[in-house]
Structure formats: structure tokens, C-alpha cells
Structure 1
Amino acid sequence: MVSLDLAKLRELLEMELSSNELTDLDEEFYEEFDSLMKALKIKAESSKERGEEIEQQLYLSELGIAEKLAREIIRARLHKIVDMAVEGRPFNLVGDEKKIFSIIATFIHREEIPVLEEEIQVKETEEVVFKTDKRIFTAYLMLQDIPKILDEHLREYGPFKAGDLATLPRTLGHILTQREAARRVSISY
């Protein structure tokens, strides 16, 4: 495949949308797309550092268009991959699409997918961990008496009296503020 650019992405999308079968993509399509995105981001940053706002906006616009085109290509290909998995015939799959086909076909045939479950658990624990330099607690001022309440993890909070100030998970705080039982107060230091 020739170097990937917006024109080539548009052409690939048109081919993908006009065919009932997966179009033949180069094995390195997804890697080339990642390289294109990285190059556009670097060009936008470089333009920003040089004070070229119009040039920066141009690269950011190209970046947005490239993301939308790729998303549509992927969406069209995924629909076709699901159809192929139902029919049991892989054709023109590249890179991770082969894994996706395999997982979907395994699911359709009601077989176990043990590797997938382990990968999902690892990703979930990675997503939960985050760090901040400035601590911000969400506190709520209780506007009425509230008995003990449970959050989605079945942790108990309360009971609270009207006028109490308490730090609560945002999910509980949101519910209490919607019901006008509490008012949100931000505390930062």
C-alpha cells in the first residue's frame, strides 16, 4: 500500500461501503493508520510551537477527518466480519481482524473464550487506577435527614442529619442532589 493519507482513506471507505465482501487491505493498514495519526499530531504540535495557528487548525482538522474515516471503515468491516463469522468463512482479514473473527465465531458456536476473560480483567484493573496531584473531594451538605444508604458496591453510608457535611461517591451524591436531599460542595486544597 502507498503511504496512507486522507485521499486514500476516502477511497478505502468508498470501496468498503460499495462491496458486500471485505475489501483487500494491506496487512499493515492499521499500523499505517496509527502512523498517519501520529504524524498529524506531531505536525499540529509543531505548528502550535511555531505560533502557526491556522496551520495547527488545518492539521487538527485533518486529524479529525482521518479519525472519522477510519471509524467508518472499521464499522463497515466489523459488520462484514460478524456476517462472515455467522457463515463460517473468513476472507480478506488483516491483523487483529483475524482474532476478532475467531472470537465471534467461537461465541456463535457457544464455545468457551477463556483468554478473552483474562484480558478483560487485566484491562478493567488498569482503567481503575489513576493519579492526580491535586486532591478534590466531593462533599455534600445534607438538606434533610437521610437513613443509611448503600452505593453500587454495597458500602454503607450514613445515617445523616439535616445540616451534616459528608463526602460521598459521586453516584450517590448525584442521586441525593437530584432528589433535593443534599447539595454538592467542592472542597480543594
Structure 2
Amino acid sequence: MLTFETIRKIFEEERSNKGLSSLPDDFFSEAKEYLEKKMKLVRSETEKWEVDSVRIRLRTIFEKRERKIMEAALNYVHSGHEIGNMIPEERKFFDDVVERIRNFQKERLKRFEDDGEGKTLVSILGDVEKFVGMNMKNYGPFKKGDITTLPEANANLLIEKGLAEKMNVNE
């Protein structure tokens, strides 16, 4: 059962921590239920103040968590590092944002490809230092999760070493 004190504690944790604080999986529905019950019981200015305070704190908690999840999704795409303490609804949001970022990257890459001939689109599976390719051009460095186009020979070399995986542009 959610209480004013629990909401206040979560509010303070979200404000002071960079990561997500731990919440019960049913936090959103519990918060809604708590707020509805409190609104029905309002009989004085003090009780109205408490309801308004809870509403503001919940909105702040939700907004801070959304911002943290958005930043975590971008970080995940570039580094492969995930954050913890996401409840199921937030996990779905995180996965959707990651997918959108990756799709955006693919579309952006397609626009900048010469004509695609002799190039291979790859997803980087592990950190790759800067290297000189078969055509004597510099490539990298790449981080896990990066998506890039490389000349076919260079891409195949990274794929053989287990550092990249070939992607289809239509994925």
C-alpha cells in the first residue's frame, strides 16, 4: 500500500540519484489508486494541500524517470550498458526508444552511403580501436552497439573476428 511518506521518499531518491530508484512493478496503478482515494477524502485545506503535493511529486517522479530512461536508451545504443530498476511499463518504453534510435541511425546512414556498392552495413559487437583498412583509410574507433557502413573487405574482417555482425538495411 502506497503512502504519502513512501511517495516523498521515492521523490527524494529520484531527485538525488542518477539512476532509477527501485519501485514496485504496480507503482503506476498504486499511485493512481492512492491519489483517487485521497481526492475523495479531501475535507480541509490541509488535505487538499496533501493531494496537490502528492500530484506534483508524482508528476516529478514520472518526468525524472522518463528523462533518465531516454538518456539510458541513448547510452545503451552507443555502449551496450543498461540501467536497472525499470518497471514493466518503463522497460517497454526503453525498448521502444532504443528501437527508434537504431532506426534513426540506419536511415541516417542510408542517406550518407555513396551508392551502397561494395559497402556492408554492420553492427559493432565489441569495442574496436581505430584501424587502417584494406584501402589504407582510417576507420573507427567504434563502440559496442554502433552501426556503420564499411567497405566489404573490412566489414568481413570484423565479422570473422566476432567484432561485428552484418545487418540488412531493411531490418
Identity between Structure 1 and Structure 2 (%): 21
TM superposition shift of 1:90: 4.4
CA distance in 1, matches of 2:37, 2:45: 14
Indicate the residue corresponding to 1:105 in structure 2. 98
Contact 1:13–1:73 (CA under 8 A) maintained in structure 2: yes
List gaps (5 residues or longer) in structure 1: 45-54, 112-189
* 8 Å CA contact retained: 1:90, 1:101: no
Q: Which residue of 2 aligns with 1:82?
A: 70
- Higher RCO (CA 8 Å, separation ≥ 6 residues): 2
| C-alpha distance in 2 between matches for 1:90 and 1:21 | 7
Q: How does 1:1-189 map onto structure 2 within 5 Å?
A: 3-44=1-42, 55-88=43-76, 89-110=82-103
Q: Between Structure 1 and Structure 2, whose CA radius of gyration is higher?
A: 1
| C-alpha separation in 2, matches of 1:95 and 1:58 | 34
Using the alignment, how far apart are the partners of 2:83 and 2:95 within structure 1?
Answer: 9
Q: Is contact 2:7–2:54 with CA below 8 Å preserved after alignment?
A: yes
Gaps of 5+ in 2: 77-81, 105-171
Tell me how large the CA RMSD over aligned residues is: 1.6
**Aligned-pair CA distance for 1:107:** 1.2
Aligned length: 99
Kindly indicate whether the alpha-carbon contact (under 8 Å) linking 2:21 and 2:85 is maintained by their aligned counterparts in 1. yes
The two structures have a TM-score, normalised by structure 1, of 0.49
State the 4+ residue runs in structure 1 displaced beyond 4 angstroms. none
Q: Distance in 2 between matches of 1:62 and 1:71?
A: 14
Q: Spell out, residue by residue over 1:26-61, the C-alpha distance to the aligned partner (whole angstroms, 9 max, x if none).
A: 1111111011111012212xxxxxxxxxx3433322
